[in-house]
Amino acid sequence: MKDIGQGIEWLSVNQPMTLAAIRVLLMVLPILVIVPGLIWYERRLLSWMQDRVGPNRTGTITLKNGKKIRTFGLLQPIADGVKLFFKEDITPATVDRVLYFISPAIALFPAFAVAGTLPWGPGYGTYGHLTPVWGSEIGVLYMLAISSLGVYGVVLSGYASNNKYSLMGGLRGAAQLISYELAMAMSLASIILVSGSLKLTEVVKAQEGQLWGVVPGIQNWFIFTPFGFLSAVIFLICMVAETNRAPFDLPEAENEIIAGYHTEFSSMKFAVFFMGEYAMMFIFGGIFGVVFLGGYNMLPIQWAELAANAPGYSFLHFMRDLNYWMAPLTFLGKCAAGMTFYIWLRATLPRLRYDQLMALGWKFLLPAAVANFIVSASWIMAQKLWGWQGAVGASIGAVLIAIGLYSAIRKAMNKGTTAMEKRSVELSEGTETIPSIRAVELV
Amino acid sequence: MNDVPLLVYLGIGLFMFVTGAVGVVVRRNPVVVFMCIELMLNAVNLTFLAFARYAPSPLVADKQPTWMAGQMAVIFVMAVAAAEVAVGLGIIMAIFRLKNKVDLDELSSMRG
Amino acid sequence: MDLNQLQLPAITPNMVIIGLLGMIAVVTAIGVVAFNNPIRSMLSLVANFFTLAFIYFSMGADMMGITQIVVYTGAIMVLFLFVIMLLNLSTDSLVATKKFDIKPLLALPVGLGVFALILSQILMPFKDVVKTSAPDATATAVGWGSPQAIGRTLFTGYVWPFEVISLLLMVGIVGAILLARRRVEV
C-alpha cells in the first residue's frame, strides 16, 4: 500500500501526463466494466419486483461429475453483447448516413464526460492524485453543461432515421430534457449557495461539517437539511427525466411511437445507445451521492473529528481509516443505490402523459426549485446579518407575513363578488381555477 | 498558456468573423444567416477574451481591472445573443407561417 | 510587409494545442457557410462553439468556457435545431433555386481580401504581444476566469448593466411568446 502511494507521489511530480492518463482510465474503465453488470442487475431486480424469475441460467457450467457451477445468469449480458456484435447491421435506405453513423457516439459521449469531475475518493493523500479527473473550479456547472449535450444524441438520431416516429421521439426527448434541465440547475443552485463553491470536492467537504452546524459528531449531508431535502427530491425527479427512464420514458414510449429515436438502429449502434443510457444512469446516481449523500463517506459520522479526541488507536481510528480506504467502494455503492432507485421507479410507476410531464416540470418543479433557492439565500443572508437566532425570528416573521398576505388577498378576492359568484366559488372549492380568474378580473 | 502570441487568438477570431460576414451575405436561408450572425458574435467574444488576457491593466469601471471588463463584455454579448435568438427565431417562424416560404431574396414585400 | 522578418513562434505543447483547436474552429466555421443542408451547418456551428469553449479553457477563462457550452451549445443551438426540424428546412427545398447568383462567386475573393486587409493593417501591431497580464489560477489565488472573480465583479462594478440585461432577457421571453403564439380566431 505504502509503495503504491509513493509511486503515485513520484508520478505526480515527474510524469503528470501519465498520471492524467491513469486518472482517466480509473474513471472510464469501471464504467465500461460495470454497465453489462447493471443490465443483469436491472433484469434480475425487476423480475424479483414483478414476481418473475428473470435471466438465471446463462453461465451455469455442468461438470463431468454432475456438479454445477452457478453464476445466477451473470453471463447473460455477455451473451447479449456477443449476439449484438454478430447481428447484421442494417442501415435503412433513406437515412441521413453521416448523422446516422455519428449520433450513437454523440449519445454515448456525455455519459463518460460527465464523470470527469466526480471525486470518488478524499481529496488528500493517495486519492488526491487519482481523483477527480479534472478538479476544476466549475465542477457543478461542467456537469450540467455536459449532461445538457445529451439532447443532441436524442434529436439527431431521431432526425437521421428519417422516420416519423423517430422524429417524434427525438423532439419529445429534446423538449423534455430542456424543461427538466432548468429545474435541475435551480435545485443545484441552492446547494452551491450553501457549500460556497462550484467545486464538487468542496461540495463534499462542506458536507463533512457538523450537522446544521450544531450537532457534534454527525456529518452535515445536504439531504438532512431542509432546503437540501427539497433540492434532493427535485434533483431526483429531474435526473430520472434527464436519462429518459420510466416513468419519463416518453421519447421511447414503445406503445405510442414504437421505440422512439432508436427504432431504426440495430446491432452495435443500438448497443451503444443502450450503454450510454445505463452509464448515464449510473453516473447520475454518483452525482446524487456526491451532492446530497456525502460523496465517498460511508456513514454520516465524523470519524476523523471523533478520533482526534480519542487516545491511542481505538475503534474510532479504525473506522476513520476504513472510511478513507473504502471510499471508492462507498462511492460505487452510492452509484448502485441510485441505479436501484431507477429500477424501483420503473417497476412502480406507469408512464406519464405528455401534458402531465410538462406540467410537472414547469408548474411544480421549477417554481419549487426557485422558491427553495430564494429561501435558502434569504436564510444565509439573515444568518450573516443577525446570527442564527435572528434568522429563526426573521423566518417566523416571514411566514407570518406570507400567511397574512395570503388571507388578505383571499378576503379581497371574495369582497367584490356577488352572491351568485360566491356560490359558484364555493361550489368549485378546491379546483382553484375560479378564484384565480376572479383575481385577474378584479385587478 | 503563456507562450502563445496574442495574434493566434486574434487570427482565429478574425477568420471566424469574416466567414460569418460572408455567410450573412451569401446564404439565403434565414436560419443559416442567423447562425452566421452567431458565428460573428462568437468571434467578437473570442477577441474580447484574448485582449482581456493580454492587455496591460489600468483600472476601469469602479476600480475593476481590464481583464474583468473583457469577461463582462462577453457575458453581456452572450445574454444579448440569447434574447436575440429567441425573438429572431420567433420572427422566422411567424414569417414562415404567414408566407409559407423563407427565402431571404424572395421576401421583398417591404421594398418600396 | 516582408514575410522574412516575421519570425515564427517556437513550437511548444501550448502552441500545438492552440493550433489544433484553432484548426478545428476554422474548418467548422467554413462548414457553417459551405454546407447546403441547414442541419449540417448547425452541427458544424455546434462543433465550432464547443471548440471555442476549449479555447477559452486554454486561456484560463474557465467560467466563460463553461458558460459558452451552457448558453450556446446547450440552449441556443438546441433552439436552432428545433426550428430547423419544425420548419423542415432540411434540404433547402423551400429556398427557390436561382439560375445564376453572383454572390457566392464573389464571396471567396472578397472574404480573403477583407481577412488579409484587417490582419495586415489592424492586427499586425499586436504581433509582439506574448506576455499575459491576467493572473492564472494557482494553488493559493483564484485566476482571472474563476467564478469567484467574475461574480464579485459582476455584482459590484457592473450591477447596472447586469440589471439592464436581465430586463432585456425578460423582454426577449415575452417577445418570443408573442411571436410564436398561434393567432386564435375570435
Residues B86 and C175: beta-carbon distance below 8 Å: yes
Position C176 in a domain: no
Nearest-by-Cβ selection for A171 from C63, C70, C85: C85
pLDDT in tens, A359-377: 888 889 999 999 999 888 8
Q: Do chains C and B touch (3 or more CB pairs under 8 A)?
A: yes
Residue reference for cell 380566431: C185
Chain A residue whose CA is closest to C70: A145
Partner residues linked to A68 by β-bridges: A62
Domain boundaries, chain B: 6-99
Q: Which of C14, C87, C145 has the CB atom closest to B4's CB atom? A: C14
Q: CA A170 to CA A112: how far, in whole Å?
A: 21
Q: Which residues contact C103 (CB under 8 A, 6 or more apart)?
A: B25, B26
The CATH code for residues B6-99 is 1.10.287.3510
Residues shown for chain C: 186
CA angle at A42 for the pair A39 and A46, rounded to the nearest 5°: 145
Per-residue pLDDT of chain A (443 residues; tens, 9 = 90+): 667 777 777 777 777 778 888 888 888 888 888 888 888 888 888 888 888 888 877 777 778 887 877 777 788 888 888 888 888 888 888 888 888 888 888 888 888 888 888 888 887 777 777 777 777 778 888 888 888 888 888 888 888 888 888 888 888 888 888 888 889 999 999 888 888 888 888 888 888 877 777 777 778 888 888 888 999 999 999 999 888 887 888 777 777 777 778 788 878 888 888 888 888 888 899 899 888 888 888 888 777 777 777 777 777 778 788 888 888 888 888 888 989 998 998 888 888 888 888 888 888 999 999 999 988 888 888 888 887 777 788 888 888 898 999 888 888 877 766 555 655 555 555 554 444 444 444 44
What residues of chain B lie within 8 A of the CB of C11, using their CB?
Answer: none
Nearest CB to B49 within list C61, C72, C180: C61
- Residue of C40, C63, C78 lying closest to A151 (CB–CB): C78
Give a yes or no: residue C8 inside a domain: yes
* Residue from the list A138, A148, A170 with its beta carbon closest to the beta carbon of C147: A138
Whole-number Å distance between alpha carbons of A166 and A164: 5
The residue segments making up the domain with residue C116 are 3-136
Q: Is residue C162 part of a domain?
A: no
**Residues of chain C contacting residue B93, judged by C-beta atoms under 8 Å apart:** 83, 86-87, 179-180
**Residue A91 C-alpha from the chain's centroid:** 34
Q: Which residues does A439 contact at the CB level (< 8 Å), separation at least 6?
A: A409, A413
Q: Which of B70, B19, B72 is nearest to B43 (CA)?
A: B19
User: Residue C102: which CATH number?
Assistant: 1.20.120.1200
In tens, the pLDDT along A311-361 reads 777 777 787 888 888 888 888 888 889 899 989 988 888 888 888 888 888
Sign of torsion over alpha carbons C63, A183, A288, A30: negative
**C66-102 b/e (C-beta count within 10 Å ≥ 16 → b):** bbbbbbbbbbbbbbbbbbbbebebbebebbeeeeeee
Domain-embedded: residue C118? yes
- Copy the grid coordinates of residue A386: 443577525
Asked whether residue C50 is assigned to any structural domain, the reply reads yes
Please report how many Cα atoms fall inside a 13 Å half-sphere around the Cα of residue A135, on the Cβ side: 21
C155 to chain B, minimum CA–CA distance in Å?
Answer: 11
**For residues A141 and C53, what is the distance between their CA atoms, to the nearest angstrom?**
13
Could you report the predicted ipTM of this complex, rounded to two decimals?
Answer: 0.86
Residue C25 resides in a domain? yes
Spatial separation of the C-alpha atoms in residues A275 and A333, rounded to whole Å: 20
Distance in angstroms (rounded) separating the CA atoms of residues A47 and A54: 5
* Number of CB atoms found within 10 A of residue A193's CB: 14
What pLDDT is attached to residue A429?
A: 53
Is position C157 within any domain? no
Apex C160 CA angle, C154 and C163, nearest 5: 85
Given a contact cutoff of 8 angstroms between Cβ atoms, the answer to whether A129 and A219 are in contact is no
Q: Which residues in C have their CB inside 8 Å of a CB on A? A: 39-40, 43, 46, 62-63, 66-67, 69-70, 73-75, 78, 81-82, 85, 90, 137, 142-143, 146-148
Q: Domain for residue C41, yes or no?
A: yes
- With CA atoms as reference, the chain C residue closest to B107 would be C95
| Count: domains in chain C | 1
Please list every residue in chain C whose beta carbon sits closer than 8 Å to the beta carbon of residue B61: 157-158
Question: C66: which chain A residues are within 8 Å (Cβ-Cβ)?
Answer: 138, 141-142, 145
Q: Which amino acid is at C177?
A: I
